[in-house]
Structure 1
Amino acid sequence: MYTGIVQGTGIVLDVRSGDGFKSLLVSNLGGLFNDAFVGASVAIDGVCLTVTSVFVNSVTFDVSDKTNLNTSMQYLSIGDEVNIERSHITGSENGGHSLYGHIEGVAEIVELKSRGETVDMILKLPPLAIKYFFSKGFIGMHGASLTVHDVDRQKNHLSVSLIPETIRLTNFRLLRKGSFVNIEVDHATRVMVDAISATLRPLH
């Protein structure tokens, strides 16, 4: 499990295709992988991946074809910067929200606007995902837990803001209009919305 507090970034050093999967080689910038081990779970741009090998200055992850197709992993290439969060340690502080690294899909950035050192962003979500988001709730975006400001269900849009510290620690400074980001739904909200929908459906 993760907290949505991105700890830093790494650089994709290599991408290799396998039979039903591809492998990513990610650099160990900032020492985030100093104690990594084979089998460890790490969120890469919000996607829960398993460490498959560890080197002095890098680690590798395998990405299944299904995960690749449903996330922004499909767009990664050598030289790209990715957000990293190691799995949460039980008993340590959780300064964000509970995330699982189970990606709902990708959202497109349709608007970016600077407001001082803060950046306001509008995302266009997949149509089936918008029902799980509410104002003052949260969204997992590329592994970062962000508060949702406004939700426009007609356009499938929602808005978030990026504070300077979040921009500094993540690859968000590289995002542009038209960029795609991974999104994760709050599990508790999903259960509640689906349960209510299932209960009300027979009444119609």
Structure 2
Amino acid sequence: MFTGIVQGTAEVIAIEEKPQFRTHTVRLPAERLTGLEPGASVAHNGCCLTVTHIEDDRVSFDLMQETLRVTNLSLLKPGDRVNIERAARFGDEIGGHAMSGHILCMAPITRIIRSENNRQVWFRLPEAYRRYLFTKGYIGIDGISLTIGEVDGGDFCVNLIPETLERTNMGFRQEQDQVNIEIDPQTQAIVDTVERVMAERAAN
């Protein structure tokens, strides 16, 4: 489980391509290496990955075909930076909201509105997932726990403070960039349950 409180970014320093498979290596800061072992879970742009190898500050992860298909990790190249969060431990403070690290889809950035101390960013969600959009609902964007500001059809926005822009890759995202989306699991469960009950009643 993850909290959506991104701990910083890490640079992708190597990518090894294989048929429908990829291994990428990131350089983690010293404070993120403490106690890290092969088999541990680390979220990259919100996607839960398993540590496969550690050599000094170089940490490697395997990405299977489905991960490459669904997430923006397939778009990475050496020199890019990803949002990093190590798995939450029992007793940790949940400063954001509970997140699984399972990405549903990608969404493009459609508009960025900059002001002196804030930034409003708009995204367009694929139609299949738009029923989960609610003003003030939780959403995970590249692993960041955020609150939806406004919803306009399939478009929605979030409002970012300077700390979020400094700590995460949202500080250098541009229009048309693709971000990973994780819908709040509780929202999914409620919407899916209501839809199922209504469908059952309509069929009777």
One-letter code aligned to 1:108: P
1:130 aligned residue: 130
| Contact kept? 1:11, 1:80, Cα under 8 Å | yes
| 2:146 is the counterpart of 1:169 | no
Aligned-partner Cα distance in 2 for 1:55–1:117: 40
1:17 is displaced (CA, Å) by 1.4
| Contact kept? 2:107, 2:178, Cα under 8 Å | yes
1:54 aligned residue: 54
1:158 aligned residue: 156
| TM-score normalised to structure 1 length | 0.96
Aligned-partner Cα distance in 2 for 1:19–1:120: 39
What per-residue deviation string (whole Å, max 9, x for no partner) do you get for residues 167-191 of structure 1? Answer: 1111111100111100101111111
- Secondary structure class of the residue paired with 2:16: strand
| Contact kept? 1:28, 1:34, Cα under 8 Å | no
What per-residue deviation string (whole Å, max 9, x for no partner) do you get for residues 19-64 of structure 1? Answer: 4420010011353123211000000010000000011021000011
1:145 is displaced (CA, Å) by 0.3
Aligned-partner Cα distance in 1 for 2:185–2:57: 34
1:14 aligned residue: 14
What per-residue deviation string (whole Å, max 9, x for no partner) do you get for residues 46-85 of structure 1? Answer: 0000000011021000011111111101100110000000
Aligned-partner Cα distance in 1 for 2:54–2:96: 28
One-letter code aligned to 2:81: E
1:183 aligned residue: 181
Can you give the 5+ residue segments of structure 1 that lack an aligned partner in the other structure?
none
- Secondary structure class of the residue paired with 1:9: strand
Aligned residues: percent identity?
37
Aligned-partner Cα distance in 1 for 2:170–2:18: 29
Can you give the 5+ residue segments of structure 2 that lack an aligned partner in the other structure?
none
- Secondary structure class of the residue paired with 1:129: helix
- Cα root mean square deviation, aligned: 1.2
